Structure 1
Amino acid sequence: MSKQIHKAYKFRVYPNEVQKVFFAKSFGCARFIWNKMLADKKEHYQLDKKSLKNTPAQYKKEFEWLREVDSLALANVQMQLHQAFQHFFKQPNVGFPTFKHKGKKDSYTTNNQKGTVAIDGSFIKLPKIGPIKANIHRSIHGLIKSATVSKSPTGKYYVSVLVETIAAPFPKTQSNIGIDLGLTDFIVLSDGTKVANPKFLSKLQNKLARAQKIMSKRALVAKKDNRKLRDSKNYQKQKLKVAKIHEKISNTRKDFLHKQSFNIVKNHDIIVIEDLNVSGMLKNHKLAKAISDSSWSAFTTMLSYKGDWYGKQLIKVDRWFPSSKTCSGCGHILGKNELKLSDRSWNCSSCKSENDRDLNASVNILNEGLRCLKLKEPLVQGS
């Protein structure tokens, strides 16, 4: 059965000088309103112990330059700040909203009102600025709801168009799969398939370290000359080189995760995965960098929403389930200290079978997920 979903399409845009100035003003105003509203909320609560209901409109009299940008961009900041507070109060492990800084995640969001946001050929039309040249590399189908304009640390501009569309479910394959996430192999599937860990950060780590070292030296030179970093051309050039390396790592990682998650969702009906506590695992400083590079959380999120889009089911088994220590053949469970992290295979003392650590875990994860689903026991389901 087809389902109505919201899907984002991201396009690179090439604004002219006038449009770049407008974007810079919009980024600045959106950042200012966020910081101003957040600061006033904090001050008001400290004085009266009550929540302040402030809006962008009340600041326009004092700061008239706020009228130069799209009013919907400022209204969306208010909504985003409200959501940030809701997440802080209702969701565990979510921090208090923080102030925004110039040059870090510069963006603003506007809404489509009767065609104010539209795609026309090789141009994207936005409110108050008109058509902008864009690389429309894929067609979109559905109603455009909003658009988010952003600028990357490397100076590239993008527009992410949010579309309300219909997603048709994938055909059923009558195949279920269990997934074990790892560091040696990125994933090991219960059918025996292993996907190697690309280790995007590790491959460019030396190049990144050299570039960052040069950037640090140029920052020290600028400091000795009593020059601000934004006025040091050599520092800014090197900063751009560092940003490009980070961008390459991020883009290749996202591409890999999207392809892997799409293939799994397309080829399997029920997908079972462990509900890992990634934030807790990152506290292990010996493995933190490798875990971050693997992006398990992003991969799980992709499986969740793509499964929801295309009529597949994602099940997360309890993180305390001993998937690695349980023999998938006879069900025998190893003792507390019988399996080390360095052990990649082990022999079952009960049925004498040899178990590949990761493959055995993925089979156990699949069986546990199907067992809980059949008995309707408590589990975490992707939605």
Structure 2
Amino acid sequence: VKIANNSNGGIGIDLGLKDLAIVSNGKTYKNINKSTRIKKLEKKLRREQRCLSRKYENLKKGESTQKNIQKQKLKVQRLHHKIDNIRTDYINKSIAEIVKTKPSYITIENLNVSGMMKNRHLSKAVASQKFYEFRTKLKAKCDENGIELRVVDRWYPSSKICHCCGAIKKDLKLSDRIYRCDCGYVEDRDFNAALNLRDALTYEVA
């Protein structure tokens, strides 16, 4: 294990669907699934999947062959694989960049991924963000570099706490992208959460 020269203090990372990760040091890692490259590939994938469905229909009518279907299946699989590789590569690069700043610790939230996957409105977006893969790889990189990975309970209200005065804004809605506190503090909601995660005192070490 390399013990990094971690004199830089810790950082908090707020993982989300709008952006992949908002870091308390001011860095934002965008949602790769909103990129033109992924959107184009997903559009192509939908087209090839429709084509595969048509070939199955034609097979029933005797107008298509198993060989045609296999060829089309392979096309679909290759596209799935390509999209998956781009997402994984992005996660690897993002984590490498975060770890390179040599924080003494990193704090993340223990996301309820399985619960989010049950929500049919969120499941596709959650799956494509690969949160579980992000956490697993972040843990491995932290271990490799002697960085403590702290995990805060999923019920910790990181988004609702005012980082300035500590008040809890109970009525904060998911649609409120800007956090406004009565004390006069105004900040991006996710950045406020990242700061609160960084400063959280109750956590488990992963």
Report the TM-score when normalising by structure 2: 0.91
What is the identity percentage for the equivalent residue pairs of Structure 1 and Structure 2?
43
Q: Which residue of 1 aligns with 2:196?
A: 364
- Residue type of the alignment partner of 2:5: P
* Larger helix proportion of the pair: 2
Q: Which residue of 2 aligns with 1:206?
A: 43
The yes-or-no answer on 1:233 pairing with 2:57 is no
The yes-or-no answer on 1:355 pairing with 2:173 is no
- Structure 2 stretches lacking a partner, 5+ long: none
Q: Which residue of 1 aligns with 2:31?
A: 197
Distance (Å, rounded) in 2 between the aligned partners of 1:252 and 1:273? 23
CA contact (8 A) 2:13 2:108 kept: yes
CA contact (8 A) 1:169 1:311 kept: yes
Q: Which residue of 2 aligns with 1:32?
A: none
- Residue type of the alignment partner of 2:184: K
- Structure 1 stretches lacking a partner, 5+ long: 4-167, 373-378
Q: Which residue of 2 aligns with 1:31?
A: none
CA drift of 1:203 comes to 4.4
CA contact (8 A) 1:275 1:380 kept: no
- Residue type of the alignment partner of 1:291: V
Q: Which residue of 1 aligns with 2:52?
A: 215
CA contact (8 A) 2:117 2:126 kept: yes
With CA pairs under 8 Å and 6+ residues apart, which has the higher RCO, 1 or 2? 2
- Residue type of the alignment partner of 1:381: V
CA radius of gyration, larger in? 1
CA contact (8 A) 2:179 2:192 kept: no
Written as runs of structure 1 = structure 2, the 5 A alignment for 1:203-282 is 203-225=40-62, 232-267=66-101, 268-282=103-117
CA contact (8 A) 1:177 1:189 kept: yes
CA contact (8 A) 1:178 1:366 kept: yes
Pick aligned residue for 1:310 from 121, 135, 145? 145
The yes-or-no answer on 1:344 pairing with 2:177 is yes
Written as runs of structure 1 = structure 2, the 5 A alignment for 1:38-77 is none
- Residue type of the alignment partner of 1:365: L
Alignment length (residue pairs)? 202
Distance (Å, rounded) in 2 between the aligned partners of 1:363 and 1:203? 35
- Residue type of the alignment partner of 2:24: S
Distance (Å, rounded) in 2 between the aligned partners of 1:218 and 1:203? 23
Report the TM-score when normalising by structure 1: 0.50
SS in 2 for 1:303: helix
Distance (Å, rounded) in 2 between the aligned partners of 1:279 and 1:307? 24
- Residue type of the alignment partner of 1:345: I
The yes-or-no answer on 1:186 pairing with 2:20 is yes
The yes-or-no answer on 1:297 pairing with 2:166 is no
* Larger strand proportion of the pair: 1
Distance (Å, rounded) in 2 between the aligned partners of 1:184 and 1:300? 18
The yes-or-no answer on 1:332 pairing with 2:167 is yes
CA drift of 1:365 comes to 0.7
The yes-or-no answer on 1:288 pairing with 2:112 is no
Q: Which residue of 2 aligns with 1:381?
A: 205
- Residue type of the alignment partner of 1:189: V
Distance change >3 Å, CA 213–CA 301, structure 1 → 2: same
Distance (Å, rounded) in 2 between the aligned partners of 1:313 and 1:212? 44
